[in-house]
Structure 1
Amino acid sequence: MHTMIAQSWSHLQELLFDDSWSPAISRYRSPFVFRGLPDSHFNLKTSLARLGGEYASLERHLLRNFRKYGHDSFDTTGPIWHWLTMAQHQGLPTRLLDWTYSPFVAMHFATADIRLGDKDGVIWKVNYHDSCKQLPEPMREKLENEGGNVFTVELLTELVRDLDAFAQLDQSDFFLFFEPPSLDGRIINQHALFSVASSASILMDELLNKTNTQFQRVILPAALKWEVRDKLDQANITERVLFPGLEGLSQWLKRHYSPRG
């Protein structure tokens, strides 16, 4: 694992935008996705895994009951990938992890919780192009035929109809990235995508090492957090934009007017 420590605001941007140049098209097109966390000791644990205990065995019950009691709010006959996205979006513990194509959105999530302002933050940086190499052959071929590196809900549905079939695609553990449908402005403004593992019981940290996917951890020192936070606010990377609506507005105002602890 390659860990880098940001020394300044400009150095942080250099680290996050590094390797963005694509010679094939002579454009800056980063092959990386990002996940920001406010404490560098936090790993890539899903909300499902954070339940603790025999959490993997609870997944089926959580999803069954979400589907059972939520039928008035979404189409329960639709692809599981669609309503699994809906479940994650509404706060149900799932095996999905949120990522973003935007380094600045990742910076936001690494600095938004000012209660952890005295902790070093971290931004995980994963090469989603490189991650395609560890996919089962049918999935890899599907992406190659589509000329893409990330799945859509439609592509996933063509290959697997449920999580059991997903796990049975390959004897080895693997993961993939997929773009959710644009359910609301939050997903759009956060430039969001999800990772999902073939097994609910294995953590993304382990999979990255196990599959030899290229990734880095960029440490955001506590001493630098407030500068980054204030400059993100000036650049309009705030809760008001990333969580459209009154809740996001309230979160932004509360944080913006809180004194530095």
Structure 2
Amino acid sequence: MENVRIKSLGQYLDIVADYDFDLWYRGVGSRDFKTLPQASWMGINPDIQNTMAYRFLRDYGKYVEREESNPWKTYSLMQHHGLPTRLLDWSRSPLVALYFALTQTIVDIKNTRRGIWVLNPLRMNKLTTGAELVYCPSQMGKRRIYNLAEYKESIYPAAGGEIWKSKYGEALKEDGVSFRSLDAFLPYCLFQLDPLNTKKIDTWNVPIAIEAVSTDGRMNSQHSAFTIHSDSSKSIDELFPKESGVISFIEIDNDSVIALMYQLHKSGIHSESIYCDLDSLSQRIRFEMLGV
């Protein structure tokens, strides 16, 4: 995946048409916005993260029909409604990512480089966990990543990934096979939602590509996926060199932003399709009738 600059929707579609189906996309208003979650670039310590999660747990039931018992579904809800978390949003849709890149507000529009980060989640997880798999914690009984390289007869070819070399202590064992708990990524109050969880040991130092299942309409319309990061992990574009094939960047020509917005809108990607509420409906009509 080579870094390129686009000037039209057709050019963008031609580029992504040659990509694998399993790639994820993240639109940003500037390439200077690294692939790190909000809790990391804001420098929010774990105690504050836990307090925010606790207050969300305490009060969010007033605004949903049914509270979630699954901590990962709750955590993704926190992320999608604006609280800083260790989750970084991606989309399986290149068009959704392009919308976010075009609409993100930037002060210095002339000097910025808008664009789309393109992630190969399977390749990244192969390097970090040793297995070419994307995990879905909200649907897993045992939310664990096993070192499949230790299985004598694994159905998945695997080699030792970076998490098995972690400086944050030894992995736990089950039937002689090393594993690390995905729940260790969570704030403590969410970690405690599962009665099987006891002592929280944060053993992660690299990001993992994960997916979440939710009944939240916004998450569905945005084709959401995530990477989850430890407080100590570097951004993905710093961790993996260009030749790794894990991540690349498609730049947007600054002079083509308005034209791309109109082309994207005519293709059915606009505020209403992204956010699915009355405010976004009004915004769509305003754009169509007034151009603003």
The two structures share one fold, judged by TM-score above 0.5: yes
Secondary structure of the residue aligned to 2:143 is helix
Of 212, 237, 241, the residue aligned with 2:273 is 241
For the 8 Å contact 1:114–1:255, the answer to whether it is kept is no
What is the Cα deviation at residue 57 of structure 1?
Answer: 4.8
Q: Which amino acid aligns with 2:256?
A: L
1:124-143 aligned at under 5 Å gives the runs 124-136=117-129, 140=131
Counterpart code for 1:203: S
CA–CA distance in structure 1, aligned partners of residues 242 and 3 of structure 2 = 17
TM-score by length of 1: 0.76
One-letter identity of the residue aligned with 2:6: A
Larger Rg: 2
Distance, in Å, in 2 between the alignment partners of 1:256 and 1:115 is 23
SS at match of 1:48: helix
Alignment partners' CA distance in 1, 2:290 and 2:48 = 39
CA contact (8 A) 2:87 2:228 kept: yes
Q: 2:27 corresponds to which letter in structure 1?
A: G
* Structure 2: 5+ residue stretches without partners: 145-180, 187-199
Residues in 1 aligned to 2:97 and 2:219: alpha-carbon distance in whole angstroms? 14
Match of 1:105 in 2: 96
Q: 1-side partners of 2:25 and 2:226: how far apart? A: 11
CA distance in 2 between counterparts of 1:208 and 1:96 reads 18
Q: Counterpart amino acid of 2:224?
A: A
2:58 paired residue number: 68
Larger CA deviation: 177-186 vs 235-244: 177-186
CA distance in structure 1 between the partners assigned to 2:255 and 2:241 by the alignment: 30
Contact 2:39 2:85 in 1 (8 A): yes
| Equivalent runs, 1:139-158 vs 2, <5 Å | 140=131, 149-155=134-140, 158=143
1:170-194 deviations in whole A, cap 9, x for unaligned? 5xx2222222223222111211111
| Maintained 8 Å contact 1:48/1:56 | no
Residue deviations 1:153-176, cap 9 Å, x none? 1227532344265732x5xx2222
- Between stretches 61-70 and 203-212, larger displacement belongs to 203-212
Shift in CA distance, 108/248, structure 1 to aligned 2, threshold 3 Å? same
Retained in 2: the 8 A contact 1:167–1:199? no
Provide the residue aligned with 2:196 in structure 1. Answer: none
Q: Is the 8 A contact 2:138 2:212 kept in 1?
A: yes
Please tell me the residue identity of whatever aligns with 1:223: D
Q: Is 1:82 aligned to residue 73 of structure 2?
A: yes
Partner of residue 48, structure 2: 58
Task: Give the Cα–Cα distance (whole angstroms) in 2 for the partners of residues 201 and 132 of structure 1.
Answer: 14
Tell me the residue number matched to 1:122.
Answer: 115
Paired with 1:113 and 1:255, the residues of 2 have a C-alpha distance of 16
Aligned position for 2:202: 167
Match 2:246 to one of 214, 219, 222? 214
What TM-score do the two structures reach when normalised by structure 2?
0.69
**CA, structure 1 residues 7+128, in 2 after alignment: closer, same or farther (shift >3 Å)?**
same
How much has 1:67 moved relative to structure 2? 2.1
Please list, as runs of the form range in 1=range in 2, the aligned pairs for 1:167-246 lying within 5 A after superposition. 167-168=202-203, 173-199=205-231, 202-209=234-241, 212=244, 214-246=246-278
Mark the CA change 1:166 to 1:251 in structure 2 (over 3 Å): closer, same or farther: farther
| Deviation at residue 213 of structure 1 after TM alignment | 5.5
- Asked if the contact 1:36/1:122 (under 8 Å) is kept, the reply is yes
SS in structure 2 at match of 1:206: helix
Number of aligned residues: 238
Percent identity of the aligned residues? 21
Question: Which residue of structure 2 lines up, in the alignment, with residue 10 of structure 1?
Answer: 10
The 2-side partners of 1:211 and 1:66 are apart by 41
The CA deviation string for residues 4-36 of structure 1, in whole angstroms up to 9 with x for no partner, is 22254332222223233xxxxxxxxx2310001
Q: Verify the 8 A CA contact 2:36 2:234 in the aligned structure 1.
A: no
